[in-house]
C-alpha cells in the first residue's frame, strides 16, 4: 500500500491539509492522481481573496462563488474562511480523493457556508448560476469557457488560469490554433500576445451569446496566465467587445521575431485591466491577513499604471541590440520620452520593458 503523506499549510488565515509533493522549479508534479497543491500559486490565491471581497461588496444580492476545479479545495476553502459578507461557496472536483480532501479541509476550518460537489465542471455549470467562477485547470481552460459564460450572472466574473504557455506563446502554434483559434509565433512580446489570445478567445466565446467582456485584471508569469473578466449581458456590450477583437500584423509594432510575415491572432486589443476597479481592490488588501501582501501591493500598482497603456511593449535590451548599442538605464528612457511630451508606462511583462505612445523613430532617437 502506498502511504500518502499529508501536511498542513497556512495561507492567509486558513489552514489546509494538502498532499506533500516533489516540487520542481516548475511546481509540483501532477501525474500521480493525488489532489494537486502548488505553493507557488499563493499570490494568485491571495489575489482571488481581495477580488472576491470586492465582488461581494458590490453585489446587491447574496453572492454565489464557485471554485470549479478545487483539488485540495484550498482556493475555495480560503474564500469561505476569509471573506466577509453575504455569500456562499461551492467547491467542485470530480476526483474522488480531491472530494474527500475538500471535506476534510472544511471540517478543519469548521466551515458551514460551503457546498461540496463532485461533478464534471461543465455539468455543474449547466445546472447552476454563479457570480464568480474560478477555472484553474492543468493546462488549458478552453474546454470550460463556454459553460462558464452561460452560467455566470450579468456583471459576474470569470477567473481563468492557463498553464499551456508553450501553446499560447507560440512554441506550439498548431496547438494554439486548435485550442484558441488564433495564429501565433514566438516573438519578443510573446507573453503579451499569449495573454491577449486567451482574452480574445473568451471575448469571441462570450459574444456569441450577445454578451461582452470587460477585463478587470489580466497577467502573465513564467508558468501561467491568469485573467479576471467581467461579463456584461446585451448586444451593445457584445459589439463593443468585438471591436477589440482583431488580427495584427507584426510589422505594425516593432517585435523581434524570425517570423514577421504572417498576421497574428485574432486577439484582444482592448485594455488588460480596469484602473478604477484595481484602485478599489487594492484598498481591500489592508483589511486582509495575507502572506504576499507586499508583493501584491506592488503588482497591483503596476497593473494600475499599465491599465491605460497602449498594447505591446519594448524592452531596453531588445531596442539596444537592434541598434547595436549597450542598453541604457530604463529611467533615462522614461525621462527623455516624458520630456518630449510622450506617455511612458512600466509593464508587468518585463522589468526592462516599457509601453509608450511615442513612434518608433522617436524611441530610436532617444536611445
Ligand atoms: C490544477 S488542479 C486545481 C488546483 C486548485 N485550484 C488550487 O488552487 O490548488 C485541477 C483540478 O481539476 C480537476 N478536474 C479536471 N477536469 C475536471 C472536470 N472536467 N470536472 C471537475 N474537475 C476536474 C482535477 O481533478 C484537479 O484536481
- Looking at ligand 1, which atom is closest to the CA of residue 121? 20
Q: What is the DSSP letter of 286?
A: G
Please determine, for residue 157, whether its predicted confidence score (pLDDT) is greater than 50.
yes
Residue 361 C-alpha cell reads as: 523613430
Per-residue pLDDT at 259 = 65
User: Cα(213) to centroid of ligand 1, in Å?
Assistant: 24
- Domain's final residue, options 263, 290, 306: 306
DSSP H or E segment with residue 305: helix 293-306
Q: What is the pTM of this model?
A: 0.95
In degrees and rounded to multiples of 5, residue 42 shows phi and psi of -60, -45
User: What's the N-to-C CA distance of the chain in angstroms?
Assistant: 65
Per-residue pLDDT at 31 = 54
Residue 136 is part of which domain span? 6-306
Is 291 found in the same domain as 261?
A: yes
Pocket test for ligand 1, best of 33, 94, 101 (most atoms within 8 A of CB): 94
- Looking at ligand 1, which atom is closest to the CA of residue 93? 22
Pocket test for ligand 1, best of 18, 31, 36 (most atoms within 8 A of CB): 36
Is 268 found in the same domain as 359?
A: no
Cα 4 to chain centroid, rounded: 31
Instruction: Tell the residue nearest (CA) to atom 12 of ligand 1.
Output: 69
Residue 150: how many other CB atoms lie within 10 Å:
15
Is 299 found in the same domain as 318?
A: no
Please determine, for residue 2, whether its predicted confidence score (pLDDT) is greater than 90.
no
Is 331 found in the same domain as 207?
A: no
| R_g of the chain, CA atoms, integer Å | 21
Pocket test for ligand 1, best of 17, 43, 44, 69 (most atoms within 8 A of CB): 69
Is 125 found in the same domain as 56?
A: yes
- Looking at ligand 1, which atom is closest to the CA of residue 75? 8
Q: What is the mean pLDDT of residues 131-154?
A: 98
Where does ligand 1 bind, in terms of residues with CB under 6 Å? Answer: 35-38, 41, 45, 69-72, 74-75, 92-95, 98, 120-121, 136-138
Residue 48 C-alpha cell reads as: 482571488
> Domain total for the chain?
2
Instruction: Tell the residue nearest (CA) to atom 20 of ligand 1.
Output: 120
Helix, strand, coil: what percent of the chain each, to 5? 40, 25, 35
Length of the chain: 367
| Digit-coded pLDDT (tens) for 308-326 | 999 999 999 989 988 999 9
- Binned at pLDDT 50, 70 and 90, residue 19 comes out as confident
User: Cα(243) to centroid of ligand 1, in Å?
Assistant: 33
What is the C-alpha to C-alpha distance for residues 139 and 309, in angstroms, rounded to an integer? 29
Among candidates 123, 73, 80, 77, which has minimal Cα distance to 98?
73
1 assigned to some structural domain: no
Instruction: Tell the residue nearest (CA) to atom 25 of ligand 1.
Output: 95
What is the C-alpha to C-alpha distance for residues 183 and 265, in angstroms, rounded to an integer? 5
What is the C-alpha to C-alpha distance for residues 221 and 215, in angstroms, rounded to an integer? 17
What is the C-alpha to C-alpha distance for residues 90 and 80, in angstroms, rounded to an integer? 9
User: Cα(95) to centroid of ligand 1, in Å?
Assistant: 8
53 assigned to some structural domain: yes
Is 251 found in the same domain as 193?
A: yes
**Residue of higher predicted confidence among 337 and 263:** 337
Is 92 found in the same domain as 187?
A: yes
Is 324 found in the same domain as 278?
A: no
User: Cα(92) to centroid of ligand 1, in Å?
Assistant: 8
Among candidates 230, 271, 270, 288, which has minimal Cα distance to 58?
230
What is the C-alpha to C-alpha distance for residues 223 and 30, in angstroms, rounded to an integer? 14
Amino acid at each position: 500500500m502506498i502511504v500518502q503523506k499529508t501536511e498542513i499549510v497556512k495561507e492567509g488565515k486558513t489552514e489546509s491539509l494538502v498532499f506533500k509533493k516533489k516540487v520542481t522549479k516548475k511546481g509540483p508534479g501532477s501525474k500521480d492522481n493525488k489532489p494537486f497543491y502548488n505553493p507557488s500559486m499563493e499570490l494568485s490565491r491571495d489575489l482571488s481573496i481581495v477580488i472576491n471581497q470586492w465582488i461581494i461588496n458590490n453585489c446587491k444580492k447574496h453572492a454565489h462563488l464557485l471554485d470549479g476545479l478545487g483539488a485540495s479545495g484550498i482556493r475555495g476553502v480560503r474564500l469561505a474562511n476569509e471573506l466577509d459578507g453575504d455569500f456562499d461557496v461551492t467547491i467542485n472536483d470530480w476526483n474522488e480523493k480531491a472530494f474527500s480532501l475538500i471535506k476534510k479541509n472544511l471540517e478543519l476550518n469548521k466551515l458551514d457556508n460551503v457546498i461540496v460537489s463532485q461533478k464534471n465542471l461543465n455539468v455543474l455549470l449547466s445546472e447552476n448560476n454563479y457570480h464568480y467562477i474560478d477555472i484553474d485547470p492543468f493546462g488549458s481552460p478552453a474546454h470550460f469557457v463556454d459553460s462558464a459564460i452561460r452560467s455566470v450572472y450579468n456583471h459576474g466574473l470569470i477567473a481563468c488560469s492557463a498553464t499551456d504557455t508553450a501553446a499560447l506563446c507560440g512554441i506550439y502554434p498548431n496547438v494554439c490554433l486548435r485550442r484558441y483559434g488564433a495564429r501565433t509565433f514566438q516573438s519578443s512580446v510573446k507573453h503579451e500576445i499569449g495573454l491577449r489570445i486567451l482574452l480574445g478567445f473568451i471575448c469571441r466565446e462570450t459574444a456569441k451569446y450577445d454578451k461582452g467582456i470587460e477585463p478587470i485584471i489580466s497577467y502573465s508569469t513564467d508558468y501561467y496566465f491568469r485573467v479576471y473578466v467581467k461579463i456584461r449581458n446585451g448586444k451593445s456590450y457584445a459589439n463593443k467587445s468585438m471591436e477589440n477583437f482583431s488580427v495584427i500584423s507584426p510589422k505594425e509594432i516593432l517585435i523581434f521575431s524570425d517570423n514577421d510575415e504572417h498576421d497574428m491572432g485574432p486577439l484582444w486589443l482592448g485594455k488588460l485591466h480596469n484602473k478604477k476597479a484595481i484602485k478599489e481592490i487594492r484598498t481591500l488588501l489592508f483589511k486582509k491577513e495575507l502572506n504576499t501582501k507586499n508583493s501584491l501591493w506592488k503588482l497591483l500598482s503596476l497593473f494600475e499604471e499599465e491599465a491605460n497603456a497602449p498594447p505591446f511593449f519594448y524592452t531596453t535590451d531588445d531596442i539596444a541590440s537592434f541598434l547595436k548599442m549597450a542598453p541604457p538605464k530604463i529611467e533615462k528612457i522614461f525621462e527623455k520620452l516624458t520630456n518630449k511630451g510622450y506617455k511612458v508606462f512600466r509593464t508587468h511583462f518585463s522589468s526592462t520593458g516599457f509601453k509608450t505612445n511615442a513612434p518608433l523613430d522617436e524611441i530610436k532617437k532617444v536611445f
